[in-house]
Amino acid sequence: MLTLPFDESVVMSESQMCRKFSRESEDPKQIKKPESFGKQITHQGKSIKRLTVEDTEKEEVEDDREEEDENGLPRRRGLRKKKMTKIRMDRVKFRRQEANARERNRMHGLNDALDSLRKVVPCYSKTQKLSKIETLRLAKNYIWALSEILRIGKRPDLLTFVQNLCKGLSQPTTNLVAGCLQLNARSFLMGQTGETAHHARSPYTTFYPPYHSPELSTPPGHGTLDNSKSMKPYNYCSAYESFYESPSPECASPQFEGPLSPPPINYNGIFSLKQEEALDYGKNYNYGMHYCAVPPRGPLGQSSVFRLPTESHFPYDLHLRSQSLTMQDELNAVFHN
DNA sequence: TAGGCCATCTGGTCCT
DNA sequence: AGGACCAGATGGCCTA
């Protein structure tokens, strides 16, 4: 039973030891603060680690007893043993610190990879980041949806696509994705009035399928898109382009081009498109702004409808992929024409 | 205040 | 032996 927490002297010895065993990559944020270390030890009151240290200390106490009981050779043995124990203990602690640092680095790398993934999935927001699990789920759905498109050779309707993307996602994430999609629908609407919609690299033509594909299964319990409301084709290549900063070889494919027609206003309660707002998009929205969406108050029920506000006051900014000055220039050029 | 998410620590296991 | 990986534990932060 260890009742002695790591005191200052222990921490000091550790820091000294850290200097002695200098690390190759010393990131300041990776270096454990002495106070946090002490806190950590305190929090470990019931942990195995504590028992280990306790055992070690007990061993030291026994060594001391040996040292007191005997003189001469046995004492030297005892001293030697005690010295070895302390070194071993220091070494164990140091290696534990090293392992912790490596683990932190590893997790940081994992988080960086997750951030990269967040940027290439259909919905990306700097301020309203998808959680790790939601990012993975959305990425999985996205890959699956795209592979289905490749397999079937037809683009699905918007609703099916959205539903596939949102399978298994939480309601807030679904809202977020729907918000992103709606924003794309906005620019989609806008494209009806101008030729920008045909711009292969327009970042706001992120995705939208032009027609209904019966081959693509719709999850049970979900509605279907009204076929009379066909959609302008969406650009599947945005992720590719944003990632590689070059046009996707797929983008020039004529199969992604299709007729323009009005977008749907409401998709069975998943979200709604307010056409009148979209038509005023060019007046009211600056394309250099952060795309934002307002989450509904309270949890969304089945009857909940995702809506964009009339005014552009949003709690979080949704960045469509490849949002850049180029995009702003493109759009400004459109509206100035 | 409860619950979700996250960062960190930690010990165990496997591999080189 | 040492590093990578993993899962459990824990505490902090934030939000409904």
Each residue's pLDDT tens digit, A232-282: 233 333 433 333 333 333 332 222 222 222 232 233 333 332 222 222 222
Nucleotides of C under 7 A from a protein CB: 2-7, 9-11, 16
Cα separation, A336 vs A282, whole angstroms: 10
Whether CB of A227 is under 7 Å from strand C: the answer is no
Q: For B9, which residue's CA is nearest its C1'?
A: A100
- Which pLDDT band, with edges at 50, 70 and 90, does A150 fall under? very high
Which tens digit of pLDDT belongs to each residue from A49-104? 333 333 333 344 333 333 333 333 333 344 344 444 677 778 788 888 888 888 88
Report CA(A170)–C1'(B10) in Å, whole number. Answer: 31
Tell me which residues from 131 to 170 on chain A have a beta carbon below 7 angstroms from nucleic acid strand B. 131-134, 170
Q: State the alpha helices, DSSP H only, in A167-252.
A: 171-193, 238-244
Q: Which nucleotides of B are covered by protein (CB under 7 A)?
A: 4-12
CA/C1' separation A105–B14 (Å) = 20
Q: Summarize pLDDT for A1-40 with one digit per residue, the tens.
A: 322 333 333 333 333 333 333 333 334 333 333 333 333 3
The pTM score is 0.49
The answer to whether the C-beta of A104 is closer than 7 A to strand B is yes
Distance A90 CA to B4 C1' (A): 38
Q: Tell me how far CA of residue A280 lies from CA of A176, A313, A317, in angstroms.
A: 22, 16, 20
CB A250 within 8 A of CB A256: yes
Is the predicted pLDDT of residue A158 greater than 70, yes or no? yes
Segment A186-240, tens digit of pLDDT? 443 333 333 333 333 333 334 433 223 333 333 333 333 233 222 223 333 343 3
> How far is residue A31's CA from residue A113's CA, in Å, rounded to a whole number?
22
